[in-house]
Amino acid sequence: MKIQFFDEFEEDIKSKYKLCRAVSVRARELGEYFTAARNMERVSIMKPLVDMDSEDPLEISFNELKEKKIEFGNIEEKEK
């Protein structure tokens, strides 16, 4: 997995903690999506929004944030 740097996200997210929280929430969703897909189950979780060869949920969620496919505010609302 390519390590992303906080500087790339600093303009959108001011706190490293919030960045970790946002990425972890989306990574858990993607993990559930991939598990359901392997078991051929239906799930109401949004599929990955970036095209990647990797199935690493953490890497995908970082790239989704980096490419602004998902907004940080949407993730914070789901936590509450």
How is residue 11 written in tokens?
């303009």
Q: Can you give the pLDDT at residue 31?
A: 93
d(CA 22, CA 57): 13
Among candidates 35, 71, 4, 74, which has minimal Cα distance to 47? 35
DSSP letter for each residue of 30-73: HHHHHHHHHTT----SPPPSS--S---HHHHHHHHHHTTSS-HH
Rounded to two decimals, the pTM is 0.74
Among candidates 62, 51, 54, which has minimal Cα distance to 23? 62
Residue-wise pLDDT tens digits, 8-62: 766 667 777 888 888 889 999 999 999 998 898 888 888 888 988 888 999 898 8
